[in-house]
């Protein structure tokens, strides 16, 4: 009798909860190879390509951050430019006013943005849905007006970082010696590497987070906050934590963007078009709640801007029309529809119950 039971157990199907697949493991190896290739690219790439890829990396990081905030967290913010602008101004204040290393000032920028998010969070979290979106935009506009009042930071016209201040960047002289370049070109390469490092860390952190228990709790809070609270999920704390961490990373991205520009003004740093509308466009056309979607979206945006910018401001109209068409006919986005049609997940985040016979 015992032997028979053991035999039946051995033949019985074993159910397992899986996230990764063979394809995802192959994608991870390919992704690592791409990152290594991108890290070595400055050895052969032109300065224009390096600057274009800095744009791609920073916009991808912002898109991934907005995606986890809105897609997984249900916090649809239209005011992320607040943290881009604060991070950028914190960098300029640290470098120009205090005189600290620009690379160190990037971390300071993230801390300033996180503190602002921690203060604004309890106020904005009283709002829900479209009211939260409007409230985040209003908060960003208020911060723009506040920054414009500081004469030490250039007031409404803005300010610049001098070449002598930029020359204090950690690693700049090493890059100059390695490539034999002038300070400007060497600075672009150093910022390129920092942007690549930041976007890789942001993407990996989000991927690990959404697959974790806290990520599941966040998704439950998004789908039904009342039901999640009834089973012990602290929905408010999880969303608040996500809000502050996303602001920290967004502030660092903003600092990196304006370190490369070396020039800042309130209207540019707090631009809703540049730092929120473009980001939403990237996520929507690529696919919300996917890691791959923003990657597809940012490459699409880069290609469209490169081609359509010759037509002046008309390209904004074209981008808007494309976004509307995608939302109407491909509501899951380009990658979302492709993944559903071919059942392909390069970076799967959903758990699947599978049976081993």
Amino acid 204: pLDDT: 96
d(CA 173, CA 242): 37
* Token reading at 75: 């916090």
State residue 67's pLDDT score: 97
Q: Max CA-CA distance within the chain?
A: 88
Alpha carbon separation from 254 to 85, 136, 145, 237 (Å, rounded): 6, 17, 18, 26
- pLDDT at residue number 7: 56
Digit-coded pLDDT (tens) for 100-132: 999 999 999 999 999 999 999 999 999 998 999
pLDDT at residue 329 in the model: 92
Please say whether the beta carbons of 235 and 71 come within 8 A.
no
Distance, CA of 321 to CA of 301 (rounded, Å): 13
Domain boundaries, the chain: 45-272
User: How far is 109 from 95, CA to CA, in rounded Å?
Assistant: 11
Which DSSP symbol is given to 39? H
Position 52 scores a pLDDT of: 96
Name residue, tokens 């209207």. 267
Neighbours of 203 (CB within 10 A): 20
d(CA 295, CA 299): 6
Q: What was the pLDDT predicted at 62?
A: 98
Which segments of the chain have a pLDDT < 50? none
pLDDT at 2: 59
Give me the pLDDT at residue 15, please.
65
């Amino acid at each position: 009798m015992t032997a028979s039971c053991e035999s039946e157990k051995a033949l019985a199907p074993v159910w397992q909860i899986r996230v990764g697949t063979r394809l995802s493991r192959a994608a991870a190896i390919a992704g690592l190879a791409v990152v290594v290739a991108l890290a070595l690219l400055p050895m052969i790439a032109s300065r224009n390509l390096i600057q274009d890829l800095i744009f791609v990396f920073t916009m991808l990081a912002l898109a991934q951050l907005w995606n986890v905030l809105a897609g997984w967290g249900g916090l649809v913010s239209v005011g992320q430019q607040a943290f881009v602008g604060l991070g950028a101004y914190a960098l300029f204040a640290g470098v120009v006013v205090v005189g600290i290393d620009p690379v160190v000032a990037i971390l300071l920028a993230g801390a300033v943005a996180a503190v602002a998010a921690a203060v604004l969070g309890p106020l904005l979290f009283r709002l829900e849905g479209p009211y939260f979106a409007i409230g985040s935009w209003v908060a960003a506009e208020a911060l723009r007006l506040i920054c414009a009042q500081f004469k030490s930071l250039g007031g409404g016209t803005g300010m610049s970082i001098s070449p002598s201040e930029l020359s204090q960047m950690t690693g700049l002289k090493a890059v100059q010696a390695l490539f034999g370049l002038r300070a400007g070109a060497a600075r672009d390469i150093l910022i390129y590497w920092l942007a690549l490092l930041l976007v890789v860390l942001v993407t990996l952190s989000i991927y690990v987070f959404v697959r974790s228990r806290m990520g599941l709790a966040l998704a439950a809070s998004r789908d039904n906050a009342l039901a999640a609270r009834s089973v012990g999920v602290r929905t408010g704390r999880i969303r608040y934590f996500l809000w502050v961490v996303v602001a920290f990373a967004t502030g660092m991205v903003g600092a990196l963007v304006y370190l490369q520009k070396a020039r800042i003004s309130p209207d540019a740093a707090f631009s809703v078009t540049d730092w929120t509308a473009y980001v939403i466009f990237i996520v929507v056309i690529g696919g919300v709640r996917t890691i791959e979607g923003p990657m597809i979206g940012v490459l699409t945006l880069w290609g469209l801007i490169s081609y359509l910018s010759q037509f002046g401001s008309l390209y904004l109209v074209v981008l808007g029309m494309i976004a509307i068409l995608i939302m109407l006919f491909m509501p899951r986005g380009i990658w979302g529809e492709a993944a559903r049609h071919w059942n392909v997940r390069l970076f799967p985040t959903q758990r699947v119950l599978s049976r081993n016979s």
